[in-house]
């Protein structure tokens, strides 16, 4: 990638200077009485000197002197180089083409040389200023690109870390549910272990990707709910409505809904009082909406079913994967706890 950028960078410089060399010839091509070859040769001499000055600043002087705040040395180096280049250009042009329009001057040689020198001097001063501007803008662009690339790498590393937190957190909560079932119903606990194996493949493999097909995420949610259903008693009203087409060809971030559903089973179930969990998934245009409503029975400090890392993890992952494109809200509304997450569905081609 860096080689391609370098090649493209060189190609742009080549075409710009090539165009600058040819412009005077192109402009004067049809003008009678003008020696276009002579014009091209004179322009080539001036532009060669300009290129020397430009790249001396672009590749060396700006970085080694101006950027290090050696202002006097930078100005002196450029003025010396400009004067030398102007003298060399004038000398070459006089040697190759003679004096220009010497009949216009009272003292042809002195005044003509002075005129040619001043003209080349101003031309080189313009290139000097241009080289500084382009180099500084280029450095600023590169700096911003590097910052963006560094920010991208940092977010990727953070996503990896967040995903690594999800796995043990998810398995901790699930195994805790199995532990609770062992005393109540060993047979159900065994079935739960079998159901858990179906989820492990998804958590261990699909969760390594930033985005997965929607149907895989919804299948994971269905399997998880069925696993949790095993431990529920008859006094829990569990309703699940997944109104999203299983054939939808879109992608979504993996395991972004599980924290909301985990919390519903964690805080929404009471073994002594009637309770409910209502889970609804539906699609509106290119967005998927997950709405979870459940009765609310806050756990005490001795509860061993998690440390609250799930929602914090989820919020940060959403900020990285869906910046300013998602809606996450959760909280208690009377005796009901409501969680809602709305995220856009991405085209596979855009995220692969």
Q: C-alpha angle 269/246/328, rounded to 5°?
A: 50
- For CA atoms 58, 60, 61, 62, give the dihedral sign: positive
**141 shares its domain with 289:** no
- Residues 136 and 206 both lie in one domain: no
Among 132, 147, 162, identify where a domain stops: 147
The larger pLDDT score, comparing residue 34 to residue 193, is at 193
Residues 70 and 141 in one domain: yes
What pLDDT, on the 0 to 100 scale, is given for residue 103?
46
Last residue of a domain, one of 147, 173, 196: 147
Domain boundary among 94, 121, 147: 147
Place of tokens 């080189």: 124
| Residue-wise pLDDT tens digits, 61-116 | 888 888 788 888 888 888 899 889 988 888 888 888 776 554 444 455 667 777 77
Q: Is residue 157 part of a domain?
A: no
Query: What integer pLDDT is reported at residue 307 of this predicted model?
Result: 45
What range defines the domain where residue 295 resides? 185-351
Dump pLDDT digits (tens) for 197-212. 777 777 777 666 788 8
Mean pLDDT for the stretch of residues 129-140: 82
Instruction: Select from 318, 305, 230, 231 the least CA-distant residue to 271.
Output: 231
User: Under a CB-based contact definition with an 8 Å cutoff, are residues 181 and 231 in contact?
Assistant: yes
170 in a structural domain:
no
Q: Is residue 158 part of a domain?
A: no
Per-residue exposure over 265-293, b if at least 16 CB sit within 10 Å of its own CB, e if not? bbbbbeeeeebbbbbebeeeeeebbbbbb
In the chain, which residue ranges form alpha helices assigned H by DSSP? 2-28, 36-56, 71-97, 108-184, 186-205, 214-229, 258-267, 309-321, 348-351
| CA atoms of 61 and 53, how far apart (whole Å) | 10
| pLDDT given for residue 336 in this prediction | 92
Domain-located, residue 41: yes
**Domain check: are 243 and 113 in the same one?**
no
> Considering its fold, how many domains does the chain have in total?
2
Give yes or no: residues 202 and 342 share one domain: yes
Which residues sit opposite 276 in a β-bridge?
237
CA distance 54 to 44: 15
State the pLDDT at residue 7.
66
Token duo for residue 136: 């500084």
Dihedral (Cα; 219, 225, 227, 229), 10-degree rounding: -150
Q: Is residue 172 part of a domain?
A: no
pLDDT digits 0-9 by tens, 236-293? 999 999 988 877 888 998 888 988 998 898 888 887 889 999 999 999 988 999 999 9
Q: Which tops the pLDDT comparison, 163 or 335?
A: 335
| Co-location of 137 and 236 in the same domain | no
pLDDT in tens, 285-318: 889 999 999 998 876 655 544 445 678 888 888 9
pLDDT value for 152? 73
pLDDT score, position 21: 66
Q: Which residues contact 315 (CB under 8 A, 6 or more apart)?
A: 328
Q: Is the domain of 197 the same as that of 278?
A: yes
Residue 76 lies in a domain: yes
137-154 in b/e burial notation, b at 16+ Cβ within 10 A?
Answer: eeeeeeeeeeeeeeeeee
Torsion of CA 82, 83, 86, 88, to 10 degrees: -110
Is there a single domain that holds both residue 6 and residue 137?
yes
Residue reference for tokens 């709405």: 291
128: helix, coil or strand?
helix
Residue 226, C-beta contacts closer than 8 angstroms, at least 6 positions apart: 195
Tokens of 282: 């539906």
Q: Is residue 59 part of a domain?
A: yes
Query: Does 160 fall in a domain?
Result: no
The answer to whether residues 289 and 243 touch, using CB atoms and an 8 Å cutoff, is no
In the structure, what pLDDT confidence band is assigned to residue 22 with cuts at 50, 70 and 90? low
Question: Are 108 and 203 in the same domain?
Answer: no
CA dihedral (83, 84, 85, 91) in degrees, to 10, reads: 110
Q: Which of 58-62, 161-165, 319-323 has the lowest mean pLDDT?
A: 161-165
**Do 211 and 346 fall into the same domain?**
yes
At 281, give phi and psi (nearest 5°). Answer: -120, 130
Q: Is the pLDDT of residue 328 over 90?
A: yes
Q: Same domain, yes or no, for 123 and 229?
A: no
pLDDT at 53 over 70: yes
CB–CB of 238/275 below 8 Å? Answer: no
- CATH number, domain of 330, equals 3.30.565.10
Q: Are residues 16 and 112 in the same domain?
A: yes
Q: Are 164 and 150 in contact (CB under 8 A)?
A: no
């Amino acid at each position: 990638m860096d080689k391609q950028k370098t090649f493209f960078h060189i190609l742009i410089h080549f075409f710009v200077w090539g165009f600058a060399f040819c412009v005077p010839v192109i402009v004067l091509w049809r003008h009678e009485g003008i020696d276009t070859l002579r014009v091209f040769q004179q322009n080539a001499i001036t532009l060669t000197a300009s290129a020397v000055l430009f790249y001396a600043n672009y590749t060396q002087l700006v970085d080694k002197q101006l950027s290090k705040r050696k202002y006097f040395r930078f100005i002196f180096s450029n003025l010396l180089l400009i004067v030398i280049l102007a003298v060399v250009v004038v000398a070459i042009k006089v040697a190759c083409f003679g004096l220009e329009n010497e009949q216009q001057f009272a003292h042809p040689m002195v005044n003509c040389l002075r005129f040619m020198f001043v003209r080349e001097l101003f031309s080189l001063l313009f290139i000097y200023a241009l080289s500084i501007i382009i180099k500084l803008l280029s450095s600023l662009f590169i700096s911003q690109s590097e910052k963006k690339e560094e920010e991208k790498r940092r977010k990727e590393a953070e996503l990896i870390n967040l995903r690594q937190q999800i796995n043990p957190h998810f398995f901790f909560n699930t195994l805790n549910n199995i532990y609770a079932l062992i005393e109540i119903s060993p047979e159900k606990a065994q079935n739960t272990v079998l159901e858990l194996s179906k989820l492990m493949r998804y958590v261990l493999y699909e969760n390594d990707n930033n985005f997965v097909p929607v149907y895989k995420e919804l299948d994971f949610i269905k399997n998880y709910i069925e696993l949790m259903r095993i431990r529920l008693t008859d006094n829990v009203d569990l309703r699940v409505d997944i109104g999203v087409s299983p054939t939808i060809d879109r992608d979504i971030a993996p395991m972004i809904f599980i924290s909301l559903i985990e919390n519903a089973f964690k805080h929404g179930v009471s073994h002594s009082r009637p309770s409910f969990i209502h889970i609804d998934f539906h699609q509106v245009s290119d967005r998927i909406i997950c709405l979870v409503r459940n009765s609310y029975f806050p756990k005490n400090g001795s509860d061993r079913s998690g440390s609250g890392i799930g929602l914090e993890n989820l919020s940060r992952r959403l900020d990285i994967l869906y910046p300013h494109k998602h809606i996450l809200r959760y909280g208690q509304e009377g005796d009901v706890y409501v969680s809602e997450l709305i995220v856009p569905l991405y085209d596979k081609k855009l995220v692969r």
